[in-house]
Amino acid sequence: MMQVGRFNKLNFSRSTRHGIYLQDEEGKEVLLPNSEVPEDFSEEDPIEVFIYTDSEDRLIATTLQPKAIRDEFAYMQVVEVSAVGAFLDWGLRGKDLLVPFSEQRRKMQKDNWYLVFVYLDELTNRLVASSKINRFFEHQHLDVQTGDEVELLVGKETDLGFNVVVNNKYRGLIYHNEIFRPVRSGFRIRGFVHQIREDGKLDIRLSAPGFAKVEPNAQKILTYLENQGGFLDLTDKSDPESIKRKLAMSKKTFKKAVGVLYKQRLIRLEPGGIFLNK
């Protein structure tokens, strides 16, 4: 069965001058426009496509990757405000995502970015987004435990810290005093569940259990990376004098500090040097 707002694996049905029609196991068809047909497409092989509706409510397939699919949270920019609502840059060619006025927590402004939830409006069978996101969080049935590593989508900054979406299901918070790396709204990062509150909200830390605070020399490397655009041209093969000149630490201390940052997934190591994960 073809699902709007999700990726579907479909089979070739027929060709037209506008593109090719794909069909599901029930024989329902959808158009994949010529501009979306891969060069290596074979009529014998199934193809995975994203299904949405166009401005005339016709089903359309695309091989492009939208910024969010149905039932996902995402951080997107308003590209237009019209008489029916705000439209978000969805990442699809010629198709923006509507946020009706009734689904706007505050009136949206063009060029601003917002944390939204994408869902299928059952009345219109259209994909829309909402910035009134609280009702989409799961508060009762949590399948995470203290210490679990989780995926985070960073939302709005508050006086306490940054609100985050946890595993695309739960609402969480990273307190300011737990942040030791660049964090901004819209970042997708990983973290760890520190505490599960009675209201179902989660307190999140960016460091693994046992690394609540970054070791001072590791922090020095982090600070250097942040000040140098996220790159440090040193490796475990670097000359001790080069390390001492850049960081004022021994090679042994450098390797230990790098190991701490690597275990916490704050950096990635490449042949040319160290890169800050963002």
CATH superfamily of 7-62: Nucleic acid-binding proteins (2.40.50.140)
Helix, coil or strand: residue 40: coil
DSSP string, 216-231: HHHHHHHHHHHHTTTE
Residue 136 neighbours by CB distance under 10 Å: 18
Cα 102 from chain centre: 25
DSSP string, 165-186: EETTTEEEEEEGGG--S---TT
Q: What is the pLDDT of residue 214?
A: 54
Q: What is the pLDDT of residue 212?
A: 46
Q: What is the pLDDT of residue 16?
A: 94
Percent of all residues in the chain with a pLDDT value above 70, rounded to a whole number: 97
CA 152 vs CA 8, 73, 110, 157: distances in Å: 26, 10, 26, 14
Mean pLDDT of all residues belonging to the chain: 91
- Please tell me if the domain spanning 7-62 has the same topology as the one spanning 72-134: yes
Q: What is the pLDDT of residue 125?
A: 85
Q: What is the pLDDT of residue 210?
A: 55
> How would you label 9-25 residue by residue, b for 16+ Cβ within 10 Å and e otherwise?
ebebbeeeeebbbbebe
Q: What is the pLDDT of residue 121?
A: 92
d(CA 60, CA 181): 41
Q: What are the residue ranges spanned by the domains of the chain?
A: 7-62, 72-134, 149-205, 216-276
Residue spans of beta strands (DSSP E) within the chain: 7-16, 19-23, 29-33, 47-53, 59-62, 72-81, 85-92, 95-100, 113-121, 126-130, 149-157, 161-166, 170-175, 188-196, 202-205, 231-232, 267-270, 273-276
Average pLDDT rounded to a whole number, residues 147-169: 96
- In this structure, are residues 69 and 168 in contact, taking their beta carbons and an 8 Å threshold? no
Q: Which amino acid is at 187?
A: F
d(CA 278, CA 189): 7
> Which CATH fold topology does 72-134 show?
OB fold (Dihydrolipoamide Acetyltransferase, E2P) (2.40.50)
**pLDDT higher than 60, residue 268:** yes
- In this structure, are residues 37 and 21 in contact, taking their beta carbons and an 8 Å threshold? no
Task: Classify domain 216-276 by CATH number.
Answer: 1.10.10.10
The pTM of this model reads 0.75
CATH class of 149-205: mainly beta
**pLDDT higher than 90, residue 102:** yes
Token digits for 7?
């990726």
E strand or H helix that includes residue 244: helix 240-247
57-83 pLDDT tens trace? 889 999 999 999 999 999 999 999 999
203-237 pLDDT tens trace? 998 877 655 455 788 888 988 998 888 999 999 99
Average pLDDT rounded to a whole number, residues 157-171: 96
**pLDDT higher than 50, residue 179:** yes
Percent of all residues in the chain with a pLDDT value above 90, rounded to a whole number: 72
